[in-house]
Structure 1
Amino acid sequence: MIVPGFVLFPLLLFTILEGISWIISSKSFSYEFSLHLSINTLRYGISGYEWAVTAMVFYLLASITTIGYFNRFPASSGGWMVSRLPGFISLILLLALPTPSGAALRFWVLRPVEQKKEIVVTNKDFQRFGIKHNIPDRDTIKAIPGKNLVLVYLESTENSYLDETRFPGLMPNTQALMKEAVVFEELQPSTNGGFTIGALFASQAGYDLTDLHLSGRFGNDGINPAVGNRICSMPGVLKKAGYFLSFMASNSLNFASTKVILTEFGYDEPWAAEDQPPEIRQYYGFTGEWGGCRDSMLFRIGAKKFQALSKLHQPFLLTLMTIDAHHPDGAANPTGPLYALPGEEPSQLLTAIHRTDLALGEFVAQLKRQPAWKNTILFVMSDHLAMNGASTIHLLRENPHRRLIAFALNAGTPRRVSVPGKTFDLAPTLLELAGVQHNTIFPLGESLLGQPNPRRLYGDIELAQPVMMALLRNKSGYSPIEEQDKAVHVVTTPYVALKIDGVPMPIFSYYTGNTTLPSAKECYAIRLSPENQAIQWHRSKRAAPVATFLEDGQKTLLFGKASGPAGVLTGLSELPPDDYILAIQENGKFRTVHGPRPETLVLPLAQDRTPAAPTESR
């Protein structure tokens, strides 16, 4: 026996999972992979990778059978050292070397440990990576409005598809629009902007997601909005200038904390096709394979929204996010124009891209007929490059200069901008294009219309993460001009969260980034810093993992029903099973409040204060 079966099975599983990660993101375990590792996306992923999933199941079953066969006879006691010593050496090598198991260990075990280390950061470090640290608090931001802004994210649609020699006639409308636009030719994805939620965050926050934002258990159970919450985003600047902010998506916002992020950015109206009630879905024919509507329908609804927003008598931001070109093979209705490469059968992915291009052309034509168009900037961009699992990837790799599509219509004299940039540069660039005057500074992003610091292009690499995280720790916390109540509240709008001294920490569900109240058997635990800021969270149906989470000794919040781990750990399991318990563990002791209505629960953070709401305490 070289490696015991119970060890060999997870090693095989890690091998398969890393293979999937390479298919998705062209790299080993990363946030691109972990944020897609959920039941919420499995139902979509299987529809695109049927053969891969079948092969994976067959491989695991065959491996289990083989392992069982070769381990059916126990090793003799005399040969224990001979049989097992090579196994232990092999296991250590598998974890230490750049193998799938070693990659899993480094990403899910060592990364969180490294994150907790205190690293001294100097001004030279900030300068080295082009990271600004003299950033004003978001409460002190002042802004003067400019033009309306319409922002369109094209799913996985990169500049390679504009090559007429490889894809003749694929995107005629985009080609025509770019001739009358300001085109940004050298825009690349930022390090954590290679997937949709990372690109959305970076393009609107002006910096990349970091390990601090994704400090749940597996990196796929929510993004902590309290990290860097004193930094103003691009939508936040527009909000200060009096803009109405609307967001519309073809699929769902209940993925990877999208709704939480949009809410914290200040969007007034986050809308998604999949999240609409059944009667609305039926009326509009929302039957999209990816859970929402086709991009053509999104653009039609978006044109009507533009018309409605133009009647508000206030400036607005309208953001549309498409989905049809999603890997591996896109999504397209059975009826409609097809696209095929010369001499080949029609491609569903290329057909989806072609139809989205046609819908974009119609959308722009409709906007141009509206009076509000003369005071509107329309910006079109790829969210990220096509993923490694796209059915066209063999053709895209022939392009040695793969870049994001990015261009602005109605932005003055058509021209080409060749300044190198990354996703996070779009936040200040959009504000300048719209003519919005403001006093904010973004940690990394700088306008591509000027002469940005070239060092900022290295501010998102792994080596710069400790510097960025030092800045974010300094820019997290409480408003300097608002008074806090020094208590924890349960809130259910605009999303389910524990409001800790005025700062919300979402109650994330398992592996989806959605927010829900704990079920009858669940408990949500949040570890607090000495400044009472949320730094880590854990949701579980069993008391043992939560108890382990509590062993760190730091101040920790618990929230759940009395019938679950919260009742067991606090000694309140005798309460009515539907009662919610909100508790703080400090110095090994619990302080609690409880009741049937979670939104009435208020628990002081300090022991010498009394609850601000009438709840039972213990």
Structure 2
Amino acid sequence: MTLRSRSDWLKHPRWWALLTLGLALGYALVTALQLSHWGQLPITAAWLLTARALRWGVPSRHAPAKGWPWSLVPLIFWGVYVYLADSFGIVDLGAVLFHLQAGISEHGGGERTIVAILYTLAMLPVLAAFTWLVRHDRRWRLLERLLALVLLATNPLLYGIGQRSAAIVAEEGAWLDQRYVAPVILEAPASPPNLLVIYLESLERTYADRERFGDVYAPLGALGDQGVVFEGVRQVDNTGWTMAGMIASQCGVPLMPAGLLHDSQLEPLEQVVPGVSCLGDLLAGQGYSLTYMGGASKRFAGKGKFYAGHGFSRILGRDDLAPRLTTPDELNSWGLYDDDLYALTVEEIRRLEAKDRPWGLVNLSLATHPPYGYPPEKCRQYQGAFDGTDILYSVECSARMAHDLVKRLAGDGLLKNTLVVLASDHLSMRVSAWEQLTASPRHNTFMLLGNDLAPRRIKVEASTMDVLPTVLEAMGFVIDWHRAGLGVSLLSNEPTLIEQHGLQTLNDQLKRETALHERLWQGFDIGGMAPDDASRTPWLPPETPPAKAAE
């Protein structure tokens, strides 16, 4: 081949179009299947070799067609899915629907907005290349409508929408609702303890594996040695983002979005899961003074509406806390750095301690928020410089700050008669350590400190929905059958739903559940049951619960 012929080959739009499509196909497959990005090269090469062998796009005597391919819209949907999968690791349709309703205008992570723009721009040459191929190759033009249907049917995002739509007309959609136990406090301790809940953003217990992650989890491990550590807390579907994780652990239910069961499915929410009682409702009924504090905006994802509607009298987010900083402008893209948030948390606990009533405070960190985390400058004193991408740096920083916060509060005498809960709000989304995290089953952080609990480790197959009854019993409250919502106290011998039925069964039932969905968003009038469903079979306790293994 002469130099000129090679130049002509490079200038021909056929190979540029095929190369663009091959690169897009390779990237989509390695992202959707969570393969190594090196896998993109052989996929692209296989595509080009196939295109050469079958002579795709070879110029013909016929004039190119002028119509637009039917597959352009399905390709755009696939582009949206690949962006979500690349950004978050696992695409949760529930999270997408909920955030559309609850509000995303005051989100942080501006870098993801830039990435979204880049993805949009990258889709333009892909759509142009596909259009060129269909117009110039009659074989592709004949099969293109069938391809459009295949692309729609195989898109996991659209498949999830189809499953949820089918659930609306399912005859049996009350499997989970029949196992729901309305949270009720039957008896309170003589001196109810205070409660401090520290949610550690995405800081799952999986990081405790020293072989994969070194000592990044060690500060939390040191705290766990002084309390009760639960090993084996899994993540059920619809509990894998911040609001869903907090609702699962405080209400004992998954966050099933209001959309798809209501005509106004994408209108802004006025309330968040108003149909169920949660931790705040129960404690407010016992006379507790309740505060929520988080570094991000309380308007993002309905956090403020959730806490205001479930017993909390003070809800403090970025707009409330930033003016109280010595340097109010020192914020990350989400809000306050955790060292500043924790300093204000100490002040709030001092205020609560001055009151003559029990208190509860829920705190949400930001330092390990995907994809890279937001470690404050303070951590550089111990860990050196942050490279801007290593999530393990942020994990170690967050663990250290949580450890130091608890130690400071205890040293100042602010944790007397107080139960401290440390928990990850959910498992991490896609981060720099994604391949190591997904190499084995993953578990959430959940540990209890104080209130005279004997230090120990409890191995159990559980979910974050079991946190609510466990916390209530750890505080000394007596609850019905050791259960609340879909959870069971992990301090009892009652089996969890995962132990009884398995994680996959729960996730399968979530896809077809309708009754529990309606309960969350509409409320019920007759003993916690729907007015038209008062004859529903009540939940019955198991006869022979297996004992949990304690070490």
Same fold (TM over 0.5): yes
What residue in structure 2 maps to residue 320 of structure 1?
363
1:190 to 225, 236, 249: 236
Q: Note closer, same or farther for the CA distance 1:421–1:281 as it changes in structure 2 (3 Å cut).
A: same
What residue in structure 1 maps to residue 76 of structure 2?
13
What residue in structure 1 maps to residue 509 of structure 2?
464
Give the structure with the higher percent helix: 2
2-structure distance, mates of 1:32, 1:451: 33
Q: Secondary structure at the match of 2:395?
A: helix
Q: Note closer, same or farther for the CA distance 1:264–1:195 as it changes in structure 2 (3 Å cut).
A: same
Q: Note closer, same or farther for the CA distance 1:28–1:310 as it changes in structure 2 (3 Å cut).
A: closer
8 Å CA contact 1:226–1:477 kept in 2: the answer is: no
What residue in structure 2 maps to residue 144 of structure 1?
188
What residue in structure 2 maps to residue 87 of structure 1?
144
Matched, 1:234 2:279: yes
Matched, 1:116 2:168: yes
Matched, 1:330 2:373: yes
1-structure distance, mates of 2:294, 2:333: 11
After superposition, the C-alpha distances for 1:399-433 in whole angstroms (9 at most, x for unaligned) are x2421111111142110111221010000001011
Q: Secondary structure at the match of 1:373?
A: coil
The one-letter code sitting in structure 1 at the alignment partner of 2:104 is N
Q: Secondary structure at the match of 2:360?
A: strand
1:383 to 425, 431, 437: 425
Q: Secondary structure at the match of 2:315?
A: strand
Q: Note closer, same or farther for the CA distance 1:333–1:453 as it changes in structure 2 (3 Å cut).
A: closer
2-structure distance, mates of 1:311, 1:2: 78
Please give the residue correspondences for 1:203-602 in structure 2 after superposition, counting only pairs within 5 Å.
203-212=249-258, 215=261, 225=271, 229=275, 231-273=276-318, 275-276=319-320, 280=323, 283=326, 285=328, 287-334=330-377, 336-337=379-380, 348-387=390-429, 389-398=430-439, 400-411=440-451, 412-439=453-480, 442-455=484-497, 458=501, 461-465=506-510, 468-471=513-516, 473=518, 476-477=522-523
Q: CA deviation at 1:13?
A: 1.8
Q: Secondary structure at the match of 2:361?
A: strand
Matched, 1:160 2:206: yes
Matched, 1:175 2:218: no
Q: CA deviation at 1:384?
A: 1.3
8 Å CA contact 2:109–2:334 kept in 1: the answer is: no
8 Å CA contact 1:115–1:211 kept in 2: the answer is: no
- TM-score, scaled relative to structure 1: 0.65
What residue in structure 2 maps to residue 47 of structure 1?
111
Q: CA deviation at 1:29?
A: 5.4
What residue in structure 2 maps to residue 613 of structure 1?
none
Q: Secondary structure at the match of 1:157?
A: coil
After superposition, the C-alpha distances for 1:209-249 in whole angstroms (9 at most, x for unaligned) are 225467578977656747561x3212211111111111101
2-structure distance, mates of 1:3, 1:379: 64
2-structure distance, mates of 1:259, 1:383: 16
Q: Note closer, same or farther for the CA distance 1:462–1:395 as it changes in structure 2 (3 Å cut).
A: closer
The one-letter code sitting in structure 1 at the alignment partner of 2:374 is A
Q: Secondary structure at the match of 2:369?
A: coil
Higher RCO (C-alpha under 8 Å, 6+ residues apart)? 2
What residue in structure 1 maps to residue 535 of structure 2?
none
Give the structure with the higher percent strand: 1
What residue in structure 1 maps to residue 179 of structure 2?
132
1-structure distance, mates of 2:257, 2:98: 13
2-structure distance, mates of 1:111, 1:443: 24
Q: Secondary structure at the match of 1:210?
A: coil
8 Å CA contact 1:142–1:241 kept in 2: the answer is: no
2-structure distance, mates of 1:479, 1:298: 40
8 Å CA contact 2:291–2:314 kept in 1: the answer is: yes
8 Å CA contact 1:332–1:352 kept in 2: the answer is: yes
The one-letter code sitting in structure 2 at the alignment partner of 1:59 is A
The one-letter code sitting in structure 1 at the alignment partner of 2:188 is I
Q: CA deviation at 1:131?
A: 4.6
8 Å CA contact 1:154–1:383 kept in 2: the answer is: yes
8 Å CA contact 1:338–1:351 kept in 2: the answer is: no
The one-letter code sitting in structure 1 at the alignment partner of 2:490 is L
Q: Note closer, same or farther for the CA distance 1:11–1:391 as it changes in structure 2 (3 Å cut).
A: same
2-structure distance, mates of 1:320, 1:336: 20
Q: Note closer, same or farther for the CA distance 1:420–1:222 as it changes in structure 2 (3 Å cut).
A: farther
8 Å CA contact 1:2–1:83 kept in 2: the answer is: no
Q: Note closer, same or farther for the CA distance 1:406–1:112 as it changes in structure 2 (3 Å cut).
A: closer
8 Å CA contact 2:274–2:309 kept in 1: the answer is: no
1-structure distance, mates of 2:391, 2:348: 28
Q: Note closer, same or farther for the CA distance 1:88–1:64 as it changes in structure 2 (3 Å cut).
A: closer
Q: Note closer, same or farther for the CA distance 1:287–1:8 as it changes in structure 2 (3 Å cut).
A: farther
After superposition, the C-alpha distances for 1:442-474 in whole angstroms (9 at most, x for unaligned) are 231110001233445658734323775324546
Of all paired residues, the percent bearing the same amino acid is 22
**Count of residue pairs the alignment pairs up:** 458
Q: Note closer, same or farther for the CA distance 1:239–1:395 as it changes in structure 2 (3 Å cut).
A: same
